[in-house]
C-alpha cells in the first residue's frame, strides 16, 4: 500500500493513527463481550475504519455527518464519551434513545451526527435538506452522508443525488463499497463497473478512493471539502474497501471465498498504516504500546461505568409524552376585518402570512414556483419570497420529504406539497419511519408540514382522488389535520406550521373553489384537537370531517325536522373525543360519515371508542358510513355510487327510526 503524506506533519499522522486504532480496539472489546453474552448484537466496521476517521477528521465539528452502522470511527473521532456510546448499545439511560433504539440508530445535535434508520435510503435525502439549510444560511458548511453499495439500488439514493445536483448542494455522498450487501455480492447488485460512474448521470463530480488508505482518504477529502466550501456542489465518492466480519456477527462470513478474505486482510488499514509510520521512524513500538494502553484503559473504565448504571425502568407517562415534542398553542389576536374568500384562498393566505412570519420557512413541491402549483395556491409566491424559499422539486416525493426533515434538523421549517395526496405513497417511508418516530427515538423534532390535496367528486379517477388520512392516523408521532371551511383551513394551517411536530395537512380539492366564508384578513391560529359544533340538536350526533361535513349539512337541510349535533372534527390526530362523548351522552344516537373506504378508517376507531366509553348512553347502534370497498372510479355515475353521500341519508333515517 502506497502512502503519500503530502504536507502532513508527524503530529498529524500520529493523530490520525490514534483515531484509527480507537474504533478498532473498541470493536475487539465488543467481539469479546458478544462471545460472553454481554452484548446482544454488533455490526462490525473492521477493515473500513479509515473512511470514517479520515472524513470526520477533515470536517469541522459543527458540520453534520450522517453515518451508517459500520461507522464507529465517526462517533469516536467526534469524541463522544465512550460511556455514552456503550450506554446506547446497552439500552441504558446515558445513551441517546432512552433504550428505544439500538446501536447507531440515533442522532445527536451536540455532536452534529444524524444516525441512520434501517430503511437506509432516507438519510441521503436528509443530508440534502441539511445542506440546503447551510446553503440558505450561506455559512459555507459541507455535509457528509454515508451509504453502502447495497443501498445505492434504492430509489432514495437516486432521488437524493438528483436533487443535490439540481440544487448544487454541498453534500459528500460517501459509498462504502465493501463487496457485499449482507450476503449478496456486488455482481448481483449492479452492472456498472464502478458505482462512481453513477455520478455521470446526474452531472455530478465523482471519485474512486482507496478506502483502506487513511492518507488517501484524508488528503483527498481535505482537498474536496476546501473546494466545496468555495464552490458549493455535491460530490459522489466510492470508497473501495471490504467488510472483514459478517453483516452482523450472527451472520458470519461463510459465503465469502477465503481467497477474497486473504486478499483484503493484507490491505488492513490499521496494520498497514502502523507499518508505514514505523518504517518512517514516526511511530516507535513504545509509543504504539502506550497509545493502545491508554485507549484500552479508557474503554475498560467507561465499560465499567455503564455496567454500574441501572437498567431503564419503564415509565408509561414518559413513553407517551415523548411521542410528540411538547408544544403549547399560541393564540394570536386579529382585527375584526374579514373578507369572503374560498377555501383555496384561505390556504394561500395562511401560507403567505406564515412565510412572512417565519423567515426560515421553505416550501418545496412540484411546479409550485413560477407556475404557482397545480391548484395555483402558491401563485405569486416566487415574486415575494424568491426561489430559494419557494422551490420547484424534481418529480420525486421520498427524497423531498427527507429533505424537509434535514431542513428541520438544521434549524428551518419545511412545507412539502404533494401535488395530489395519492402521490404521497412514494414518499411514505420517510413520513412514517423517520418524521413520525424521530422525536420518540432521540428527541429531535420534525418541523415539517406535508400538504395533501385530496378527495373525490371531481371525476379524477383512482390516482388523483383518494382521501387517505387513515394511512397516517394509524402512525404515532404524526398529527393529522383535515379542515372543511376556509376559516378553519387558514387558522389550522398556521398552527401546523408553528407546531414543531410533523403534520399531515389535508385539503379537499372539491372544496377549494366551492366553499366561501368570511375569514379574518390578519394572521391567526386555531388549536389542534378542538372540534367545531356546526349545528346543535337532541336527536342524533353526526360526526364528520372534510367534504363529509358539507354532505351532512346538505342532508340535514333536506330534513329540517331532524335536530342534530353536527360535529366537524377538524383534526383527526389529536382527536376531540371529549366533545364527541358529551354529544353522544346527550343525543343517544350517533352516525359517523367519512369519505374514505369504511374498513380500517377513522370512523371505525371513533365508533369503538364510543362503544367502550358511552355504551350505556346509546339508544341504537353506532352507524358508520363510508365509500365503497374499491378504488375510486372515474365516470361520474360510478363515482357517485362510490361516494357515501346518498347512503348517508338512508342510514341516518334508519338510525333515527331504530
Angle at CA of residue 321, ends 111 and 97, nearest 5°: 30
- DSSP 3-state of 45: coil
Is the pLDDT at 140 greater than 80, yes or no?
Answer: yes
The three three-digit cell numbers of residue 164, written as one number: 443535490
For the segment 543-559, the average pLDDT, to the nearest whole number, is 98
For the segment 45-68, the average pLDDT, to the nearest whole number, is 96
* pTM of the complete model: 0.96
294 pLDDT band, cuts 50/70/90, is very high
Residue 615: CB atoms within 10 Å: 10
Strand partners, 540: 564
The cell 411521542 sits on which residue? 323
Is the pLDDT at 264 greater than 90, yes or no?
Answer: no
Residue 226: CB atoms within 10 Å: 12
Element (H, E) at 504: strand 503-508
pLDDT value of residue 60? 98
Q: Are 606 and 580 in contact (CB under 8 A)?
A: yes
pLDDT value of residue 42? 82
The three three-digit cell numbers of residue 443, written as one number: 428527541
| Distance, CA of 48 to CA of 243 (rounded, Å) | 7
For the segment 257-275, the average pLDDT, to the nearest whole number, is 91
| Distance, CA of 243 to CA of 176 (rounded, Å) | 10
DSSP at 510: H
Is the pLDDT at 391 greater than 80, yes or no?
Answer: yes
The candidate with the shortest Cα–Cα distance to 107, out of 61, 56, 59, 66, is: 66
pLDDT value of residue 371? 97
Strand partners, 210: 240
Q: Name which residue leads in pLDDT, 418 or 118.
A: 418
551 pLDDT band, cuts 50/70/90, is very high
HSE, CB side, 13 Å, CA atoms: give it for residue 630.
Answer: 11
For the segment 565-575, the average pLDDT, to the nearest whole number, is 98
| Distance, CA of 595 to CA of 603 (rounded, Å) | 10
Cis amide bond preceding 574, omega within 30: yes
Task: Give 71-115 pLDDT, tens digit per residue.
Answer: 999 999 999 999 999 999 999 999 999 999 988 899 999 999 998
With pLDDT > 70 as the criterion, what percentage of the chain qualifies?
A: 100
Active site residues: 464
263 pLDDT band, cuts 50/70/90, is confident
For the segment 282-293, the average pLDDT, to the nearest whole number, is 98
pLDDT value of residue 185? 87
For the segment 21-36, the average pLDDT, to the nearest whole number, is 93
The three three-digit cell numbers of residue 286, written as one number: 513504545
Query: Could you tell me which residues come within 8 angstroms of residue 241 by beta carbon, excluding any fewer than 6 positions away?
Result: 47, 48, 50, 51, 176, 177, 178, 211, 212
| Distance, CA of 379 to CA of 353 (rounded, Å) | 14
For the segment 618-636, the average pLDDT, to the nearest whole number, is 96
pLDDT value of residue 252? 82
What are the φ/ψ torsions at residue 45 (nearest 5 degrees)?
A: -110, 15
253 pLDDT band, cuts 50/70/90, is confident
What are the φ/ψ torsions at residue 208 (nearest 5 degrees)?
A: -110, 130
Element (H, E) at 544: strand 540-544
The candidate with the shortest Cα–Cα distance to 481, out of 500, 498, 497, 505, is: 505
Per DSSP, which regions of 45-129 are E strands? Answer: 65-66, 107-108, 113-114
DSSP string, 56-97: HHHS-TTS-EE--TT-HHHHHHTT--HHHHHHHHTTBTTSSS
Task: Give 594-604 pLDDT, tens digit per residue.
Answer: 999 999 999 99
DSSP at 567: E
Query: Could you tell me which residues come within 8 angstroms of residue 401 by beta carbon, excluding any fewer than 6 positions away?
Result: 122, 125, 416, 427, 430, 431, 434, 435, 448, 450
Strand partners, 453: 507
Q: Are 149 and 198 in contact (CB under 8 A)?
A: no
- DSSP 3-state of 361: strand
| Distance, CA of 484 to CA of 507 (rounded, Å) | 8
For the segment 442-460, the average pLDDT, to the nearest whole number, is 96
Element (H, E) at 480: strand 479-481
Is the pLDDT at 180 greater than 90, yes or no?
Answer: no
With pLDDT > 90 as the criterion, what percentage of the chain qualifies?
A: 90
DSSP at 622: P
Is the pLDDT at 182 greater than 90, yes or no?
Answer: no
Q: Are 399 and 160 in contact (CB under 8 A)?
A: yes
243 pLDDT band, cuts 50/70/90, is confident
- DSSP 3-state of 190: coil
Is the pLDDT at 245 greater than 90, yes or no?
Answer: no
Task: Give 501-536 pLDDT, tens digit per residue.
Answer: 999 999 999 999 999 999 999 999 999 999 999 999
Is the pLDDT at 556 greater than 90, yes or no?
Answer: yes
Element (H, E) at 173: strand 171-177
pLDDT value of residue 281? 97
Q: Are 468 and 631 in contact (CB under 8 A)?
A: no
Task: Give 317-365 pLDDT, tens digit per residue.
Answer: 999 999 999 999 999 988 889 999 999 999 999 999 999 999 999 999 9
Amino acid at each position: 500500500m502506497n502512502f503519500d503524506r503530502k504536507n502532513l506533519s508527524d503530529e498529524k499522522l500520529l493523530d490520525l493513527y490514534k483515531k484509527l486504532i480507537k474504533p478498532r480496539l473498541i470493536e475487539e472489546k465488543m467481539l469479546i463481550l458478544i462471545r460472553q453474552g454481554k452484548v446482544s448484537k454488533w455490526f462490525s466496521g473492521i477493515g473500513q475504519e479509515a473512511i470514517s476517521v479520515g472524513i470526520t477528521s477533515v470536517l469541522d465539528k459543527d458540520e453534520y455527518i450522517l453515518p451508517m452502522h459500520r461507522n464507529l470511527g465517526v462517533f469516536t473521532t467526534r469524541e463522544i464519551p465512550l460511556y455514552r456510546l456503550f450506554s446506547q448499545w446497552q439500552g441504558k439511560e446515558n445513551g441517546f434513545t432512552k433504550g428505544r433504539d439500538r446501536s447507531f440508530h440515533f442522532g445527536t445535535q451536540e455532536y452534529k451526527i444524524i444516525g441512520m434508520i434501517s430503511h437506509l435510503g432516507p438519510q441521503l435525502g436528509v443530508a440534502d435538506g441539511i445542506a440546503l439549510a447551510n446553503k440558505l444560511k450561506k455559512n459555507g458548511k459541507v455535509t457528509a452522508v454515508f451509504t453502502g453499495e447495497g443501498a445505492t439500488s434504492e430509489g432514495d439514493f437516486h432521488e437524493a443525488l438528483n436533487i443535490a445536483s439540481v440544487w448544487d448542494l454541498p453534500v459528500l455522498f460517501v459509498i462504502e463499497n465493501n463487496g457485499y450487501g449482507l450476503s449478496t455480492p456486488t455482481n448481483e447488485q449492479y452492472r456498472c463497473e464502478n458505482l462512481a460512474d453513477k455520478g455521470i448521470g446526474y452531472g455530478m463530480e465523482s471519485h474512486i478512493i482507496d478506502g483502506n488508505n487513511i492518507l488517501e482518504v484524508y488528503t483527498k477529502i481535505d482537498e474536496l471539502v476546501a473546494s466545496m466550501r468555495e464552490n458549493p456542489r455535491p460530490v459522489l465518492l466510492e470508497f473501495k474497501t471490504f467488510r472483514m466480519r459478517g453483516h452482523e456477527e450472527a451472520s458470519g462470513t461463510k459465503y465469502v471465498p477465503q481467497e477474497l478474505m486473504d486478499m483484503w486482510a493484507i490491505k488492513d488499514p490499521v496494520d498497514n498504516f502502523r507499518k508505514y509510520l514505523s518504517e518512517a521512524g514516526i511511530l516507535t513500538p513504545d509509543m504504539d504500546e502506550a497509545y493502545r494502553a491508554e485507549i484500552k484503559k479508557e474503554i475498560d473504565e467507561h465499560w465499567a461505568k455503564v455496567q454500574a448504571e441501572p437498567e431503564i425502568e419503564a415509565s408509561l407517562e414518559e413513553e407517551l409524552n415523548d411521542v410528540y415534542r411538547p408544544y403549547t398553542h399560541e393564540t394570536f389576536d386579529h382585527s375584526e376585518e374579514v373578507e369572503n374568500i374560498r377555501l383555496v384562498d384561505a390556504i394561500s393566505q395562511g401560507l403567505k402570512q406564515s412565510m412572512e412570519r417565519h423567515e426560515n420557512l421553505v416550501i418545496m413541491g412540484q411546479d409550485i414556483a413560477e407556475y404557482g402549483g397545480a391548484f395555483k395556491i402558491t401563485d405569486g409566491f416566487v415574486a415575494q419570497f424568491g426561489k430559494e424559499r419557494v422551490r420547484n422539486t424534481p418529480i420525486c416525493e421520498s427524497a423531498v420529504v427527507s429533505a424537509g426533515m434535514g431542513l428541520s434538523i438544521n434549524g428551518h421549517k419545511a412545507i412539502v406539497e404533494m401535488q395530489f395526496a395519492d402521490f404521497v405513497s412514494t414518499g411514505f417511508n420517510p413520513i412514517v419511519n423517520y418524521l413520525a418516530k424521530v422525536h420518540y427515538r432521540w428527541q429531535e423534532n420534525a418541523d415539517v408540514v406535508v400538504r395533501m390535496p385530496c378527495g373525490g367528486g371531481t371525476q379524477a379517477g383512482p390516482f388523483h382522488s383518494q382521501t387517505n388520512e387513515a394511512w397516517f392516523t394509524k402512525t404515532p408521532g404524526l398529527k393529522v389535520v383535515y379542515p372543511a371551511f376556509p376559516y378553519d383551513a387558514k387558522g389550522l394551517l398556521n398552527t401546523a406550521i408553528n407546531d414543531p411536530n410533523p403534520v399531515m395537512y389535508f385539503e379537499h380539492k372539491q372544496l377549494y373553489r366551492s366553499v366561501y366564508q368570511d375569514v379574518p384578513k390578519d394572521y391567526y391560529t386555531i388549536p389542534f384537537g378542538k372540534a367545531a359544533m356546526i349545528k346543535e340538536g337532541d336527536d342524533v350526533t353526526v360526526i364528520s370531517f372534510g367534504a363529509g361535513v358539507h354532505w351532512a349539512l346538505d342532508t340535514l337541510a333536506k330534513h329540517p325536522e331532524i335536530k342534530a349535533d353536527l360535529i366537524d372534527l377538524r383534526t383527526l390526530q389529536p382527536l376531540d373525543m371529549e366533545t364527541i362523548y358529551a354529544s353522544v351522552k346527550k343525543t343517544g344516537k350517533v352516525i359517523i360519515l367519512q369519505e374514505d373506504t369504511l374498513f380500517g378508517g377513522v370512523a371505525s376507531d371513533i365508533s369503538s371508542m364510543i362503544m367502550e366509553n358511552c355504551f350505556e348512553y346509546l339508544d341504537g347502534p353506532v352507524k358508520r358510513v363510508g365509500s365503497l370497498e374499491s378504488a375510486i372510479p372515474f365516470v361520474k355515475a360510478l363515482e357517485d355510487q362510490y361516494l357515501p353521500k346518498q347512503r348517508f341519508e338512508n342510514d341516518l333515517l334508519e338510525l333515527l327510526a331504530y
